[in-house]
Structure 1
Amino acid sequence: MLARVGTLSWRESDATLSASAVPWVRLSHVVDGSGVPRNASHHVRKDLAGRPMSAAPMWVRTKSELRGHRRQRAHSCWDHLLIAPLWPKYGVNLGTLLRTCDAVGACLAVPHCPWVRDALDRGNTLRRPSCVHWANKPLTWLAAQRRAGSDIVGVELTDEAIRLADLPPARRRTVVVLGHESDGIPTEATVLLDRAVEIPMLGTGHSLNVAVAGSLVAYKLAGLV
């Protein structure tokens, strides 16, 4: 077997390097980017946690083990954390958010329309009933939640928005408002927000997918990250 690295060639059969103008070099002289011979006995790479790369493979929990650590039934309505995509555009995002709600112990709040119900039926990969709050009129429903004393948190890019890392866990009933995938939260709804949170980005996109953004905020408010 012959493999080329730069201008050199490595022949597996004799474990040497060769080049037209370079003498034969033993593998003990081959170094990696750290400047240490690859086959040096003291050169044991470690990851950030200090675990040797040569250690035994990590044990990955089996499905039966995971079932022993999970709830046997879906949680009831705890009415503490509500994830509210009130102006959805794509049904697939609703299915993703429904699973996130199950994971963090939250409820989903969505507008009451036929295509949303169908999207939830198709997207419920857990095949178990989930807690869903129906908002017949999103603005009216949101105003009622605020009057009742809920903390209304919008996931939106505003001048007053706090960074996701600075968002504390929910200490009282909290509604997470998610806007339209293209247009965001309507202007008339922003006046109902108690605060806004933004998720920092380094890429070229304007925002994250609404299901991804909602899931990140849900985990932070649930105190799981």
Structure 2
Amino acid sequence: MRKWSMQELGRKSVEDFKQADKTPLVVVLDNIRSMHNVGSVFRSADAFLIEKMVLCGYTPRPPHRDIHKTALGATETVAWEYAETTVEAVQSLQANGYKVYAIEQAEGAVFLHDFHPGKEKIAIVMGNEVEGVSDEVLDICDGCIEIPQLGSKHSLNISVAAGIILWALTEKSVFHKP
């Protein structure tokens, strides 16, 4: 066994990435505190060819060396925009035909493995490291998706949760293009 070389991996250039068909999924970051978490979510969004990210409230925004440290250039490939509030971002996405789902442990949440979005355009809201998705945002979301957890902590770092969610939603056949 040997590792693939960079050339064998066939990585997309920045321009190729921008021209590629994207996974129809928008990631909304609700007042994330850590620049490293923001950079990590950018990197996962790049890995799964996510449509775009919306950075809300006091979520740090590129360019910044601490975001770049974990994003490793993904801020140059993944489209992103800023919204002053997460409520504003969610309402705008809904007005543009997206179903918006909070990633949260909440009453009425659907476990990730049971979530089947159909052909609708999807946006997910990832919450603050301490408070999670804010109550005012949770109230206007179209639903809630929960990552089942079996241990004693019942919480994941946002960058880990984002990687799990983005993989699972990308992996579901509705997001595969022939």
TM-score by length of 2: 0.81
Correspondent of 1:103 among 41, 47, 53 = 47
Bigger radius of gyration: 1
SS where residue 96 of structure 1 aligns?
helix
Correspondent of 2:3 among 60, 66, 77 = 60
> Which position in structure 2 is the counterpart of 1:126?
73
Map residues 128-207 of structure 1 onto 2, 5 A cutoff. 128-168=76-116, 171-207=119-155
Letter in 2 for 1:162: V
Whole-angstrom CA distance in 1 between matches of 2:23 and 2:148: 29
Shift of 1:113: 5.3
**Range that drifts further, 207-216 or 109-118:** 109-118
> Which position in structure 2 is the counterpart of 1:92?
36
Please tell me whether the aligned partners of residues 167 and 220 of structure 1 are also in contact (alpha carbons under 8 angstroms).
Answer: no
Matched, 1:221 2:165: no
> Which position in structure 2 is the counterpart of 1:209?
157
Name the one with the larger helix percent.
Answer: 2
Please tell me whether the aligned partners of residues 98 and 124 of structure 1 are also in contact (alpha carbons under 8 angstroms).
Answer: yes
Whole-angstrom CA distance in 2 between matches of 1:181 and 1:114: 11
Please tell me whether the aligned partners of residues 157 and 198 of structure 1 are also in contact (alpha carbons under 8 angstroms).
Answer: yes
Shift of 1:129: 3.9
Q: How many residues align?
A: 166
Structure 2 residue ranges without an equivalent (≥5): 174-178
Residue-by-residue CA offset, 1:114-157 (whole Å, 9 max, x unaligned): 84332534443136443112112221121121122201011001
Whole-angstrom CA distance in 2 between matches of 1:170 and 1:83: 18
Whole-angstrom CA distance in 2 between matches of 1:115 and 1:223: 29
**Range that drifts further, 75-84 or 153-162:** 75-84
Letter in 2 for 1:91: M
CA separation of 1:201 and 1:160: change in aligned 2, threshold 3 A: same
The higher relative CO (CA closer than 8 Å, separation ≥ 6) is in 2
Could you say what the CA RMSD is over the residues aligned between the two structures, in angstroms? 2.4
Aligned-pair identity in percent equals 22
CA separation of 1:154 and 1:99: change in aligned 2, threshold 3 A: same
Whole-angstrom CA distance in 2 between matches of 1:166 and 1:114: 30
Structure 1 residue ranges without an equivalent (≥5): 1-57
**Range that drifts further, 197-206 or 77-86:** 77-86
Residue-by-residue CA offset, 1:141-174 (whole Å, 9 max, x unaligned): 2112112220101100112111111223663321
SS where residue 175 of structure 1 aligns?
strand
CA separation of 1:81 and 1:144: change in aligned 2, threshold 3 A: same
> Which position in structure 1 is the counterpart of 2:17?
75
